[in-house]
Amino acid sequence: MSTSVEMSGIHLAYPTESGAVAVLNNASLKVPPGETLAITGPSGSGKTSLLLLLSGLERPDKGEILIGSQRLGGMDSDALADWRSRHLGIIFQSFHLLPGLSALGNVSLPLEIAGQAHAREQAISMLEAVGLSHRLQHYPAQLSGGEQQRVAIARALVHQPSLLLGDEPTGNLDQETGKKVLSLLFDLHKKSKSTLVLVTHDERVAERCQHRVRMDGGHLYEI
Ligand SMILES: Nc1ncnc2c1ncn2[C@@H]1O[C@H](COP(=O)(O)OP(=O)(O)O)[C@@H](O)[C@H]1O
Ligand SMILES: [Mg+2]
């Protein structure tokens, strides 16, 4: 399952005590269904904010976001949470696994939240796909960084989301482990046919994506 992603005329500023922090100024982008987009740009340029907008966790001050036929601005927060649980997978730089749940618990949770049957079996087969069938009952603290990120990838993909977002998913891994985790991510992406939007610092990663944009000074530049 895949979906198109379209953002048009997006403005975003965060209000703070010392005035508004402008992050996006009339930004637009388009990704066809099933394709890959890399977002690069300096720290603080708004890459994470862009992913938050695409997941409906942040709302723009102006502009429209369409994921497939779904207009995010037209949904209230309950509808957005429901939409996310069915259609969206997110992989963070710092894994964000729940420390009190095993690898299996972390991966089956999204399925349980979405009320799907056979959550456990599906989670086990997804953990097998990322090479962790021998770590099902381990807690995050008992796993290496690379293993934790593989659990996070399994969790993001287990409910077969049509849109997969990655926020510097290899940023906390050593180079060798990072390479392996990325290969795995691209392999799984190919099989899943989801649309992939990836924030990365790494030029070599960006080169593996079909589309590339650079963020700077509130603008998006196609490269
Ligand atoms: N909740 C917030 N409130 C105020 N300012 C924020 C908030 N989140 C991010 N910012 C600011 O917005 C800018 C973009 O942040 P971010 O999207 O995290 O950038 P990046 O991911 O590219 O490093 C930064 O200047 C950051 O300090
Ligand atoms: Mg960021």
pLDDT in tens, 161-175: 999 999 999 888 898
Radius of gyration in angstroms for the set of CA atoms belonging to the chain, rounded to a whole number:
17
Tell which residue, 180, 153, 177, has the closest CA to residue 165: 153
Supply the pLDDT for residue 163.
97
> For residue 152, is pLDDT > 80?
yes
Q: What is the mean pLDDT of residues 189-207?
A: 90
Mean pLDDT of the chain: 94
Among 12, 14, 17, 198, the mutation site with the greatest number of ligand 1 atoms within 8 A of its Cβ is 14
Residue 16 neighbours by CB under 8 Å, 6+ apart: none
Look at residue 43 and give its three-state secondary structure. Answer: coil
Q: Token digits for 204?
A: 């070599």
Among 25, 48, 54, 55, the mutation site with the greatest number of ligand 1 atoms within 8 A of its Cβ is 48
Residue 157 neighbours by CB under 8 Å, 6+ apart: 89, 126, 164, 188, 192, 194
Lowest mean pLDDT among 95-104, 131-140, 148-157, 214-223: 214-223
> For residue 21, is pLDDT > 80?
yes
Q: What is the pLDDT of residues 101-132, one digit of tens each?
A: 999 999 999 999 888 899 999 999 999 999 99
Percentage with pLDDT > 90 across the chain: 83
Among 11, 21, 213, 215, the mutation site with the greatest number of ligand 1 atoms within 8 A of its Cβ is 21
Supply the pLDDT for residue 204.
82
Residue 15 neighbours by CB under 8 Å, 6+ apart: none
Supply the pLDDT for residue 223.
85
Supply the pLDDT for residue 1.
75
Q: What is the mean pLDDT of residues 129-142?
A: 97
Which residue bears the tokens 């799984």? Answer: 188
Supply the pLDDT for residue 164.
96
Supply the pLDDT for residue 132.
96
User: Ligand 1 within 6 A of 23 CB?
Assistant: yes
Q: What is the mean pLDDT of residues 200-212?
A: 90
Query: Which-ligand-closest: CA of 39?
Result: 1
- Residue 42: pLDDT band (50, 70, 90) is very high
Supply the pLDDT for residue 18.
94
User: Ligand 1 within 6 A of 43 CB?
Assistant: yes
Residue 177 neighbours by CB under 8 Å, 6+ apart: 144, 145, 146, 149, 170
- Residue 53: pLDDT band (50, 70, 90) is very high
The Å distance, Cα 10 to ligand 1 centre, comes to 16
